[in-house]
Structure 1
Amino acid sequence: MNQAELRPSSLAADPAWRVALPTLALTWLLILLLFRETALAMVEIWERSDTYAHGFIVPPITLWLIWRIRASLAVLVPSYSFLAVLLFAGVGFAWLVGEVAAVNALSQFALVAMLILAVPAVLGWGIARRIAFPLLFLFFAVPFGDFAMPKLMEWTAHFTILGLRSSGIPVHAEGLRFVIPTGSWSVVEACSGVRYLIASVTVGTLFAYLTYRSLRRRLAFVLVSFLVPVLANWVRAYMIVMIGHLSGNELAVGVDHLIYGWIFFGIVILAMFWIGARWREDEFESEPQVTAPTAAPTTAVAATLPSGSLIAAVATVLLGGFWSFAQLQIEDNRAPQIGQAAPLGPIAGWQASASGLYGWQPGFENYSASSQASFTNGGHVVGLFLGYYRNQDEQRKLVSSTNVLLRNDDPLWAKVGGGTHAISFAGQEIKVRTVLLRGQPPLRMLVWQWYWVNGRWTASDVMAKAYLALSRLTGNGDDSALIVLYAPLAVDGTGEAVLEDFVRSAGPAINAALRQTMAGQ
Structure 2
Amino acid sequence: MSRVIEAGSANFTRASCWGLAAAAFVAAAITLLACYWQTAQSLVWVWDHDGTYQYAFLIFPLSLWTAFNLRHQVRANPPAPSVWGLAAVAMLVFVWYAGHLLDVNLAQHFAFVALFPALVLTCWGWRALWVLAFPLGYMVVFEVPWSDALVGPLQDITAHFALRALELTGMPALLDGRQILTPSATWMVADACSGVKFFMACSALGCLYAYLMYQRWWKRVLFVALATVVPVIANGLRVYFTILIGETWGMKYASGTDHLIFGWQFFGTVLVLLLLAGWFFRDHLVMREPAPAHGDKLERARSIVWLAAIVLLIVGPMFASESESRVPSEAMHLTAPAVAGWTGPMAAEDGWGPIFKGATGQVRASYRSAAHGDVVDLFHAVYVGKPRREHTLITYGNDLYDPAYSQILSSASRKLDLADGQSLVVGELRLSGTTGSRLVWYWYCVDRRCTRSPALTKLMQAWDVLRGRVPRSSVWALSSPIGLGDADQARTNFRAFAQMLPGTGMPDVPDRRASAGNKP
Q: In structure 2, what is the Cα distance between the partners aligned to 1:40 and 1:469? A: 24
The answer to which of 172-181 and 28-37 deviates more is: 172-181
Q: 5 Å matches for 1:6-405?
A: 12=12, 13-139=14-140, 140-288=142-290, 297=296, 301-302=297-298, 304-305=299-300, 308-309=302-303, 311-341=304-334, 343-356=335-348, 359-375=351-367, 376-379=369-372, 380-390=374-384, 392-405=387-400
Seen in structure 2, the aligned counterparts of structure 1 residues 393 and 247 have a Cα distance that, compared at 3 Å, is farther
Q: 5 Å matches for 1:421-460?
A: 421-425=414-418, 428-437=422-431, 445-460=438-453
The amino acid across from 1:458 in the alignment is T
Q: In structure 2, what is the Cα distance between the partners aligned to 1:493 and 1:131? A: 57
Residues 81 and 305 in structure 2, CA contact (< 8 A), matched pair in contact too: yes
Q: In structure 1, what is the Cα distance between the partners aligned to 2:461 and 2:495? A: 27
1:145-181, Cα deviation, whole Å (9 max, x unpaired)? 1221122122222222332233222335433333433
The amino acid across from 1:506 in the alignment is L
The amino acid across from 1:99 in the alignment is H
> Which residue in the other structure is 1:473 paired with?
466
Q: Secondary structure of 1:213's match?
A: coil
Residues 106 and 145 in structure 2, CA contact (< 8 A), matched pair in contact too: yes
Q: Secondary structure of 1:340's match?
A: strand
TM-score (norm 1): 0.87
Residues 357 and 390 in structure 2, CA contact (< 8 A), matched pair in contact too: no
Q: In structure 2, what is the Cα distance between the partners aligned to 1:213 and 1:264? A: 30
Deviation at 1:210, TM superposition (A): 0.8
Residues 440 and 479 in structure 2, CA contact (< 8 A), matched pair in contact too: yes
Q: Secondary structure of 2:64's match?
A: helix
The answer to which of 466-475 and 100-109 deviates more is: 466-475
Residues 178 and 410 in structure 2, CA contact (< 8 A), matched pair in contact too: no
Residues 344 and 509 in structure 1, CA contact (< 8 A), matched pair in contact too: no
> Which residue in the other structure is 1:514 paired with?
510
1:368-418, Cα deviation, whole Å (9 max, x unpaired)? 4211122333225432110223564455432235333334542xx664443
Q: Secondary structure of 2:359's match?
A: coil
Residues 474 and 509 in structure 2, CA contact (< 8 A), matched pair in contact too: no
Deviation at 1:17, TM superposition (A): 0.8
Seen in structure 2, the aligned counterparts of structure 1 residues 512 and 321 have a Cα distance that, compared at 3 Å, is closer
The amino acid across from 1:150 in the alignment is G
Deviation at 1:234, TM superposition (A): 0.5
1:254-311, Cα deviation, whole Å (9 max, x unpaired)? 01211111111111111111111222123434324659xx9x95xxx45x43x633x1
> Which residue in the other structure is 1:501 paired with?
496
The answer to which of 456-465 and 185-194 deviates more is: 185-194
Q: In structure 2, what is the Cα distance between the partners aligned to 1:328 and 1:352? A: 46
1:221-278, Cα deviation, whole Å (9 max, x unpaired)? 1111111101100001111221222222242320121111111111111111111122
Seen in structure 2, the aligned counterparts of structure 1 residues 480 and 492 have a Cα distance that, compared at 3 Å, is closer
1:461-491, Cα deviation, whole Å (9 max, x unpaired)? 1101111222233333354221001346675
TM-score (norm 2): 0.87
Deviation at 1:514, TM superposition (A): 2.9
Percentage of pairs with the same residue = 27
Deviation at 1:190, TM superposition (A): 1.9
Q: Secondary structure of 1:209's match?
A: helix
Q: In structure 2, what is the Cα distance between the partners aligned to 1:406 and 1:450? A: 14
Residues 473 and 509 in structure 2, CA contact (< 8 A), matched pair in contact too: no
Seen in structure 2, the aligned counterparts of structure 1 residues 436 and 346 have a Cα distance that, compared at 3 Å, is same
Q: Secondary structure of 1:14's match?
A: helix
Deviation at 1:65, TM superposition (A): 1.0
Seen in structure 2, the aligned counterparts of structure 1 residues 288 and 361 have a Cα distance that, compared at 3 Å, is closer
Seen in structure 2, the aligned counterparts of structure 1 residues 192 and 492 have a Cα distance that, compared at 3 Å, is closer
The amino acid across from 1:502 in the alignment is F
Residues 330 and 472 in structure 1, CA contact (< 8 A), matched pair in contact too: no
Residues 433 and 459 in structure 1, CA contact (< 8 A), matched pair in contact too: yes
Q: In structure 1, what is the Cα distance between the partners aligned to 2:16 and 2:517? A: 63
Seen in structure 2, the aligned counterparts of structure 1 residues 153 and 504 have a Cα distance that, compared at 3 Å, is same
Q: In structure 2, what is the Cα distance between the partners aligned to 1:112 and 1:289? A: 28
Seen in structure 2, the aligned counterparts of structure 1 residues 344 and 409 have a Cα distance that, compared at 3 Å, is closer
Residues 411 and 428 in structure 2, CA contact (< 8 A), matched pair in contact too: yes
Q: Secondary structure of 1:354's match?
A: strand
Seen in structure 2, the aligned counterparts of structure 1 residues 174 and 395 have a Cα distance that, compared at 3 Å, is farther
Residues 173 and 181 in structure 2, CA contact (< 8 A), matched pair in contact too: yes
Q: In structure 1, what is the Cα distance between the partners aligned to 2:227 and 2:434? A: 42
Q: In structure 1, what is the Cα distance between the partners aligned to 2:167 and 2:404? A: 25
Q: Let me know the Cα RMSD of the aligned residues.
A: 3.1
1:107-157, Cα deviation, whole Å (9 max, x unpaired)? 111111112101111111111111111111111112221221122122222
Q: In structure 2, what is the Cα distance between the partners aligned to 1:477 and 1:437? A: 34
1:404-437, Cα deviation, whole Å (9 max, x unpaired)? 3334542xx6644431111245775321001234
The amino acid across from 2:328 in the alignment is A
Q: Secondary structure of 2:501's match?
A: helix
Deviation at 1:80, TM superposition (A): 0.5
Residues 406 and 415 in structure 1, CA contact (< 8 A), matched pair in contact too: no
Q: In structure 2, what is the Cα distance between the partners aligned to 1:363 and 1:61? A: 38
Residues 14 and 75 in structure 1, CA contact (< 8 A), matched pair in contact too: no
Deviation at 1:83, TM superposition (A): 1.4
Q: In structure 2, what is the Cα distance between the partners aligned to 1:65 and 1:439? A: 47
The amino acid across from 1:197 in the alignment is F
Seen in structure 2, the aligned counterparts of structure 1 residues 468 and 22 have a Cα distance that, compared at 3 Å, is same
The answer to which of 41-50 and 504-513 deviates more is: 504-513
Seen in structure 2, the aligned counterparts of structure 1 residues 327 and 227 have a Cα distance that, compared at 3 Å, is same
Residues 175 and 416 in structure 1, CA contact (< 8 A), matched pair in contact too: yes
Q: Secondary structure of 1:502's match?
A: helix
Seen in structure 2, the aligned counterparts of structure 1 residues 505 and 134 have a Cα distance that, compared at 3 Å, is same
Deviation at 1:460, TM superposition (A): 0.4
Q: Secondary structure of 2:510's match?
A: helix
